[in-house]
Amino acid sequence: MSFDLIFFGGTGDLSWRKLMPALFQAFRHGKLPAGGRILAVARDEQDDDAYRRWLKDRFQDVEGAKRPNDEEFARFAELLHYRRMDLSQPADYAGLLDWVATRGADTVVLYLATSPHLFPQICTQLGAVGLNGPQVRVVLEKPLGHDLASAQEINRVVRATFGETQALRIDHYLGKPSVQNLMALRFGNALFEPLWRRDSIANIQITLAESLGVGTRGDFYDRTGALRDMVQNHALQLLTMVAMEPPSRNDADAIRDEKLKVLRSLQPFTEERVARDVVRGQYRRGHVDGQPVPGYLEEAKVPEGSRCETFVALRTEVQNWRWAGVPFYLRTGKRLAQREAQIVVNFRPTPHSIFPGSAAANRLVIKLQPEDGLELHLMAAKGHAQGEALTPVSLDLDFDKAFAEDRVGAYERLLLESIAGRLNLFVRSDEQEQAWRWVEPVLEAWRREDAAGSGGPAAASALVARDGFAWPEEQ
């Protein structure tokens, strides 16, 4: 299958830090279909050879094991091309159409790795020159808008040019192997499904924590914040996959229909609920590995006195028969104690204990990063004496060890899926808009507040403790 993969924003950070290295890994693993061309589009004046040299220099910053040697890069570079474009000029889109038409590839993937405010302009121009035929797909990188109205406007313009099955909205968490194992855990095994409901589960906690600060991205981050950057997309996608009903089949619409039902079942936010069930904060100056690090307000390009949140924790419920009364806790933040992403399913305690001492309830920990695996926490007897107290033990499955061969990274998988036209791992427009609809009352309540909000992790602990629970590290 021949394909043309075109990156708008081909010299931007996303392209050279994430997308091109992911494509190289697909090429190295022999998974990139034969007969492909990769075109980088940007405003810089350079030719194919200059772009290849530029990208080779950038690849020196790629993680060592994923860095190509000279011979590998030379073979990969044969696929690479460059085209200068001014995205505001119709003539440049006509020239791009001519470039695509010279070969007539089976599939054309247009990856918009630009600022989202350019999406409507780019899609309109692509439609005007006819670069939207049935073999064309457009990939939209997040964030898709900054609120419900802007997301709806982007979707309106995209729909005017491309059909729903042609528009692929990226959420790179959905490409992670660990998230695919979440689907396999639930719908490829019979073990947990009878327990996966309110009768057996006390609460579910989703944590997406980063140890780094905003670094040089202060201007972008300050316009976004943790709620938009992580909760509206990544955290809610994980919640839907945990809470969804089993789909009737393993195809895109069946899966996305069930996820949409979960989003529509989330307990809506009122101003009172925002004050009670949502915590936000900013990180302050401190020390990491013995070295001083700045607070958020001291980071480069962050406006003085900014109220942008770098930490969010919230409580919600899925209001349906399976989950009624089960709290779901979501938290995310920067400059936290460690980088980790995990889902913790806390089961209810045994209804009647026959053993002495206290017994911890069972827990299933689904680890997403940096480790990829499962932990099942149980109680067991050492067998030392009759009537002894039980001891906590855990079954630990490390998928990186269990599957020793090269594993496909998130962007590598998503790029291959976009070329193949498989939609399972992409977000449908109604999902995306419903997620914005759910978080928007929180954004509106914050806009009306005078204070900067609650103070971060301590308040997050109190949020969970109010229901008689605790975060994993506090148990």
For residue 281, the SS3 value is: strand
For residue 42, the SS3 value is: strand
- Is 234 one of the annotated active-site residues of the chain? yes
CB crowding 274-301: b at 16 or more within 10 Å, else e: beebbbbbbbeeeeeeeeebbebbebee
Burial of 473 (0-12, 13-18, 19+ CB in 10 A): exposed
ω into 143 cis (within 30 of 0): yes
Q: Looking at residue 325, what DSSP letter applies? A: T
* Distance separating alpha carbons of residues 232 and 165, to the nearest angstrom: 22
Let me know the angle formed at the C-alpha of 428 by 426 and 432, rounded to the nearest 5 degrees: 105
Structure tokens at 452: 């900067």
Cross-strand pairs, 112: 8, 140
Structure tokens at 245: 């009903």
Structure tokens at 334: 């920067």
The residue length of the chain stands at: 475
- Residue carrying structure tokens 């997301």: 151
Catalytic choice (234, 287, 377, 384)? 234
Active site residues: 234
